[in-house]
């Protein structure tokens, strides 16, 4: 899987290079990460035993500024996967014009098997191991899969202890009380909602006309599901790692959020005497959700959910990638032939890194923004980039993914070439 991620990203880069010529120097620079780190993290468990976990951090490219990227806790984390995701982050930051390069980090484990005390020791141990590899002007981590504001707070605190001074700008996605930004915890879903609204307006579609299915009811998926519900869209299906629920009449997303917070599952969400209304519904698998006959499909779980094997069964008219890499390059070709409009992750889910940038700016200035300012800045900036990518796609009659990569590649190539190229030195 990890090797496939990087292969997919590279294929998309090659497609974009046909429309945004890139120098041989820039191509060579982007072939390899700037630095990769693999560490061992010993943790004393609650029962007194010692376990050693493998952790990783990759800084892929810092041409446009210090690197930026999340830290994930997941059993499938490998160095190859982290490198691929760092490559993606490089293009995501360029696509939305942030002064950052791409990075990523992770620890290979199932965090659900650890106590809160063990998670804290693990999080602090990870920072002990990578402290010299990160910094406010070098590499700024953030939350990702199965990490959250509290974990980011532990990590920032540990870095501050190591450096002997408070350093809030080293980590974003922290609790607000520790220097986090208002709106950061919902930024990925909120940014995706702004992109979706912008694109649906291009097609003349009103919310009341549209049905939606959301795969993944975590931080990002649940946020955009609720915002779509409140905007008048009919959200007919949602799922988490254990499965999903479907109702052609539409689901009441606030009730589902409340029920899941209490019961940690959605399979029995509509039941007598539960926190929500009695609504007829069907249980379904994540795979079944992907093939529902809906207008909008939102993969908001993990990568490689739509592949060449199941792309033919997709019936949605529009796909918005809230997860990182949920659609493979082979699946892209099939979906495009089916006439499905796909809006790529490096634009759609960029709200998280954009508000992380706002948090970093606030930490460095000491001036903190109100929530309406965060939302205003996020809306105007991500909408502007979405409009530009739309125009590129229309100009060249190409997919929105290729247009997004052209947009990012143009910025990256310029920054790389401004350091000097073969042609410059030959002349």
Neighbour-count burial for 145-171, b at 16+ CB within 10 Å, e otherwise = bbbbbbbbbbbbbbbbeeeeeebbbbb
Q: Which two tokens stand for residue 146?
A: 């199965």
Q: Which of 35, 42, 95, 39 minimizes the C-alpha distance to 60?
A: 35
Q: How many CB atoms lie within 10 A of CB 31?
A: 8
Q: At what angle do helices 79-95 and 400-417 cross, to 10 degrees?
A: 90
Interior angle at CA 412, CA 407 and CA 416, nearest 5: 155
300 in Cβ contact with 224 (< 8 Å): yes
Q: Which two tokens stand for residue 129?
A: 């191991």
Contacts of 39 (CB under 8 A, 6+ apart): 54, 55, 56, 57, 126, 129, 130
The catalytic position among 68, 92, 104, 260 is: 104
Is residue 234 among the annotated active site residues?
no
Q: Which of 84, 18, 2 minimizes the C-alpha distance to 403?
A: 18
Q: Which two tokens stand for residue 247?
A: 């109702």
Q: How many CB atoms lie within 10 A of CB 194?
A: 21
Q: Which of 324, 355, 392 minimizes the C-alpha distance to 100?
A: 355
Catalytic residue numbers, as ranges: 104
């Amino acid at each position: 899987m990890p090797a496939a991620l990087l292969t997919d990203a590279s294929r998309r880069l090659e497609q974009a290079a046909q429309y945004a010529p890139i120098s041989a120097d820039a191509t060579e620079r982007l072939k390899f990460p700037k630095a990769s780190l693999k560490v061992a993290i010993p943790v004393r468990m609650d029962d007194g035993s010692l376990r050693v976990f493998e952790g990783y951090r990759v800084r892929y490219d810092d041409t446009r500024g210090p690197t930026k990227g999340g830290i994930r806790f997941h059993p499938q984390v490998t160095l190859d996967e982290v490198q691929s995701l760092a490559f993606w982050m490089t293009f995501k930051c360029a696509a939305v014009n942030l002064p950052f390069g791409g990075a990523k980090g992770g620890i290979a484990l199932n965090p659900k098997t650890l106590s809160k005390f063990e998670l804290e020791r693990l999080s602090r141990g990870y920072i002990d191991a990578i402290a010299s590899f990160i910094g406010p002007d070098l590499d700024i981590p953030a939350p990702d899969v199965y990490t959250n504001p509290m974990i980011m707070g532990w990590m920032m605190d540990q870095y501050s202890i190591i450096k002997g001074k408070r350093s809030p700008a080293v980590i974003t996605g922290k609790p607000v009380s520790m220097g986090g930004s208002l709106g950061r915890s919902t930024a990925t879903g909120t940014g995706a909602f702004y992109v979706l609204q912008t694109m649906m307006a291009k097609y003349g579609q009103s919310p009341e006309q549209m049905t939606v299915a959301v795969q993944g009811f975590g931080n990002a998926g649940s946020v955009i599901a609720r915002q779509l519900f409140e905007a008048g869209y009919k959200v007919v299906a949602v799922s988490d790692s254990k499965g999903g629920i479907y109702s052609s009449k539409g689901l009441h997303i606030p009730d589902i959020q409340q029920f899941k917070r209490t019961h940690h599952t959605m399979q029995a969400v509509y039941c007598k005497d539960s926190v929500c209304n009695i609504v007829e519904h069907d249980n379904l698998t994540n795979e079944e959700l992907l093939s529902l006959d809906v207008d909008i499909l939102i993969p908001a779980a993990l990568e490689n959910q739509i592949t060449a094997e199941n792309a033919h069964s997709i019936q949605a008219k529009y796909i918005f990638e809230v997860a990182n890499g949920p659609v493979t390059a082979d699946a892209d070709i099939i979906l495009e032939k089916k006439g499905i409009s796909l809006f790529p992750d490096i634009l759609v889910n960029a709200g998280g890194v954009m508000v992380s940038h706002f948090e970093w700016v606030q930490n460095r200035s000491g001036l903190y923004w109100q929530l309406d300012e965060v939302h205003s800045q996020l809306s105007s900036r991500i909408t502007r980039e979405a409009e530009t990518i739309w125009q590129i796609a229309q100009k060249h009659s190409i997919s929105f993914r290729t247009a997004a990569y052209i947009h990012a590649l143009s910025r990256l190539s310029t920054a790389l070439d401004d350091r000097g190229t073969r042609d410059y030195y030959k002349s």
